[in-house]
Structure formats: structure tokens, C-alpha cells
Amino acid sequence: MPNPITLDGSSLTLADVIAVARYGATVRLSPSAKKQMAASRTWVERAVDDHAVVYGVTTGFGAFQSVSVEPQKLRELQRNLILSHCAGTGDPMPEEVVRAMMILRANALAKGNSGIRVSTVQLLLDMLNTGVHPVVPVQGSVGASGDLAPLSHMAAVMIGEGTAYVKGKVVSGARALQSAGLQPVVLEAKEGIALNNGTQAMTGFGVLALDDAEHLALVADIAGAMSLESVKGKSAPFDARVHNARPHKGQSQSAANIRTMIRGSALVDCLDSDTLTKVQDSYSIRCIPQVHGASRDAMTIVRSVLETEINSATDNPLIFPDDDVAISAGNFHGQPVALVMDYLGLAAAELGNISERRTAKLMDHHHSYGLPPFLADNGGLQSGLMIAQYTAAALVSENKTLMHPASGDSIPTSANQEDHVSMGTIAARHARAIIANVTRILAIELLCASQALEYRLQEPGNGTRSVLAIVRSVVHKLQGDRALSEDIEHIAGLIGSRRLSIGPG
């Protein structure tokens, strides 16, 4: 079990979020966070006692901002907010995304700008630590005022409403809390809007998607190296001098990975009857560092934005007790995340685009330098790996529709009070779907490159041999035709397990 993650609102890392979302790390509040939260809570209680007009505390929400609410109805106001905003639809979010959303919301509240009680946030963490995972529909957020519907479904369980997963079963929110020995909270002034204003659904999707995409960038280099050797490619395009002359970091990293994989190879730069007239390789081989590297650099930008977002206060209004003020503003707007989620989807999709082109090259005996057509032992009688490339092509084409920028769209809500929205959660969901497709596109390239390498008499590089052995531990060499779907899924699972790495040089 990973060490507990301590929340202070300022020092959470992406690795911490992954540890909680995927590996079950527990979470606690730091003493400094409790102090910060108590100060802003005191400010809210004083504002209520003074009958101050504070948006979302003593008024209605959105277009109802001008409606004052009597003090005796402030609890009802917050409860109504959560229940009325539970309007999501579609399939439930994956459990890991819900867990990410929960820790991210708690960390935002821990900054002490939200006016929520420590005990209310502690309940959210207790749910996380005991495996009470709210059922959160995946659709319904426009990304401003943040992820209202998803976060409301999360908060509903905290008040004993909604539904939650407990040990894989869906039960009522009240029963879920009871099973964990927890009591539902009665929300006080400001607490409902503190819980459901923010970008934590889109950011939760985003953190997990980035983690997967960064690994795919590594897998793409591995698969590319195997295809390079399969077609008896040239090593010159990966020379460090080339990349020092155009010093993009991602490009240099990808080139270095390829050099490590092919070190000791008798296939690269091979001069024989197959390659006698070859002067240079096609772009999908020769430009691996430039294409993969650009995606790597895009992911670096995405990482920077997410590192800022996960330690940000994103609800409204924000309380600044030291200055004795509450400021109504727009930190809930998801545009920073929305833009980079579209960028992440595009960066991941490009890894798939060029991978499919390398797979197609392995299938085509006019461009594979001595390999049999479609890598079939008895072409004509057998189809070999022909249709695996069709599947890769279908996934690439599907990704082209998913790459349409969600952040380029907006639609007004709340009677034109909320007249520009980010669509950030849609962008993040699309990025996740693209990454799932690219995982299988790369699995197909690994399947085909492994088969191709075994037709060669020369030895591949040290790193390539290591990866080939791992692939062969889950998928046997094709000998005659067989159904390929399970092979693709086994290798996709291998990618997901993170067992593939740049082999020894």
C-alpha cells in the first residue's frame, strides 16, 4: 500500500493523484490545511450572522443570483443545489476517475478559500479511504461553472443521497455511508457550492489520460524501433548530431530511445540484396523522432497545466479571510484544462497515425524489403496479419473524429448568465478514448513487428530482443491463420501493465 498522501492545497503532485486513483493510497488533511479551512469557515459564519449579501452563501445561484435567501433556509439552499444539479447522464465514470475527482476536490478545498468545514472535507476523504465511490454519470458537464453535474453526483452521496459503489455493488448513498461506518453530512452555508464548483472531473480524466499517454510515447518508440529493424532501416536519422541541430527535447529523447533499442543490431544498416538500392527510409521510419518527439513535447505542456490546476482553488466565490473579503470570479472555468485536453488527444492520436503507417509498410512486400506479403507463411491460402492493419486503420480513422476540438465550442446556459463554457470534460473524455485506441494501434504494430523480426536471419538489437521476448510471453508466433482479436488485446494488456521498457543497450 502506498504511503498516505497529505493534502495542503498546494503541494499535490500528479504522481500522488495516480497513487490514490489507481493504487489505493489513502489521503489525509495536513494541520496547515485545517487551519486555512477553519479561517475561511469562520469568515462565512460571520457573514451569515451579519446578513451580508454573498453570492451562493445568502443568495441563489446562476441566474438566481439576485434572490436573497432567509438564514433559516440556508441549509435547504445548499441541499437543493446538490440535488438539483444531479442531472448527469450516460454510463458511470470509471472508478479511477471518480477517485481522482475526489482527491482533487478535497485538495482544492484544503487551500482554505472555499469556506467549507473541515469535517465536511474529512467525510469526503473518509469515503475515498474506505472505498465508497459515488456513481457519477459521464455526461452532463459543459465545463463551467466547472463540472457541476459530476461533482454534484459526488456530493450527493455525502448527504446520504445518490448511489455509490461499495465492493463492486451499487447501493444507495445512505447505505454506502452506513457500510463504511460514516454519517451523512448536513450541508451548512456555502458548503454545497464549495463541493460542486470546480474542474475536478475534467482534471481527473486529464491526469489519468496524461499518465497513459506518456507511457504510450515510450511504447511508440519501442514499436518504432522494432519496425525500423524489421524493414532493415538506416540508423543515420537517429544520430545525436541530427537532433542536436534541432534541439527539441522530445525529439532528442525519442532518438536516444531508438538508439538504445537497436544497439548491437545486425538488421539496421544491413547491406544485402533486399536493401541494395535503398538510400533512405520513408517518413514513418525516418521521422520517428520528429513525430514522436513533438507529441512528447506537447505532453510536457499538458503536464505543466495540470500541475498548476490540481493545486488551484476553483470554486466561487473565493474567501480571503486575511483580507476580510469574498470575491466572486471565474476560477471554475475549465478553459485552461479544456485546451490542453484537446492538445493531449491530438498528440496521442499522432502516435497512432504514424504507427499505423509503419504497420502498413510491414504488410506491403513492395516496401518491406524481403518480408512475405502480409507476413503470411503461405500467402493466398493464408491472410496472415492483413486484417490487423485494417483494424489499426479503423482506429486511426475513428480518432480523426475524436480529435475535433471540444474546446472550440461553447453554448450558453443559465439564461445567458453563464454564456461561455469550456467543454473541458468532453475534451478530456475524448482524449481518454483516443488513448485507448492508440494503445491498440501500437499493440497491432508490436504484433506485426514481432512476426516480421522472426522472418529475419540477422539478429535484432539488444533492446529489441528483450521486448520481443516479453511480447512472445503473451502472444505466440503466427503459424497459419488464427483469430487475431485476442492477440491484440493481450498485447494491449501488456502495454497497460507497464512491462515494456527501453531494453538494455
Burial class (CB in 10 A: 0-12, 13-18, 19+), 314: buried
Please give the biggest Cα pair distance in the chain. Answer: 90
Q: Cα(163)–Cα(159) distance, rounded to whole angstroms?
A: 11
> Peptide bond preceding 466: is omega within 30 degrees of 0, i.e. cis?
no
CA–CA dist 1, 149 (Å, integer): 32
Residue with cell 454506502: 176
| 235 contacts 184 by C-beta, under 8 angstroms | no
Task: Compute the distance between CA of residue 104 and CA of residue 443 in angstroms, rounded to an integer.
Answer: 32
* SS3 state of residue 164: strand
Cis peptide before 317 (omega within 30 of 0): yes
Q: Using CA atoms, how far apart are residues 353 and 398, in angstroms rounded to an integer? A: 11
In one-letter notation, the amino acid at residue 364 is D
- The set of residues, in sequence order, having a beta carbon less than 8 Å from that of 364 and lying 6+ positions away, is 373
Whether 165 is catalytic is no
SS3 420: coil
Active-site pick, 23, 55, 283, 390? 55
Q: Using DSSP, state whether 31 is helix, strand or coil.
A: helix
Q: Which phi and psi angles does 276 have, rounded to 5°?
A: -55, -35
Contacts of residues 61-67 at CB distance under 8 Å and 24 or more positions apart, as own/partner, are: 61/193, 62/145, 62/413, 62/414, 62/415, 62/417, 62/418, 63/414, 63/415, 63/416, 63/417, 65/417
CA distance 217 to 289: 11
Q: Which residues pair with 169 in a beta bridge?
A: 166
Does residue 60 contact residue 51 with C-beta atoms inside 8 Å? no
- Alpha-carbon span 174 to 182, nearest angstrom: 9
Which among 33, 27, 28 is positioned nearest to 10, based on CA atoms?
Answer: 33
Q: In this structure, what C-alpha cell is assigned to residue 276?
A: 541494395
**Other C-beta atoms lying within 10 Å of the C-beta of residue 297:** 16
- 3 state DSSP class of 59: strand
Q: How, if at all, do strands 318-320 and 325-327 pair?
A: antiparallel
Q: Where are the alpha helices (DSSP H) in 320-423?
A: 335-363, 386-402
What's the rounded Cα separation, in Å, for the pair 116 and 467? 51
Q: Which residues are catalytic?
A: 55
